[in-house]
Amino acid sequence: MAFRVEITARAKGNVDVILRWLLSRQAGDAARRWFQGLTDVVASLSNFPSRCSLAPESAVVPFKVRQLTYGRKPRVYRVPSTIENDAVIVHHTRHGRQKSLPVIDRS
């Protein structure tokens, strides 16, 4: 079964901030490769999204939050998501060193 991947405005905003930061560091080609790679791995959530491990946020909310990771240390990014019916909802894109989110808003 293929899932629909929905990306929240917050997650898109997170990616915009990261991409602008990379571009401000004169990382033009690397920034574009990072963005394309992230886009590809997020799209892969349409196939078997439950393959992703549970995110730390799952401990504080009454539903499962999964996390896809992208990149290599020390540049690993977490993509927390939830599975709702036939959709995967991407809530954020965060650097792996950032603290866990206190709450995932399902709206």
CA of residue 95 relative to chain centroid, distance: 9
CB 45 within 8 A of CB 68: yes
Q: Give the residue from 8, 31, 7 showing the smallest Cα distance to 18.
A: 31
What ranges do the domains of the chain cover? 4-95
pTM of the predicted structure, to 2 decimals: 0.84
Provide the residue type at 58 as one letter.
S
Question: For the domain 4-95, what is the CATH code?
Answer: 3.30.2310.20
**pLDDT tens over the chain, length 107 residues:** 799 999 999 999 999 998 888 888 877 788 889 999 999 999 999 999 999 999 988 888 889 999 999 988 888 999 999 999 999 999 988 877 766 655 566 55
Residue 33, C-beta contacts closer than 8 angstroms, at least 6 positions apart: none
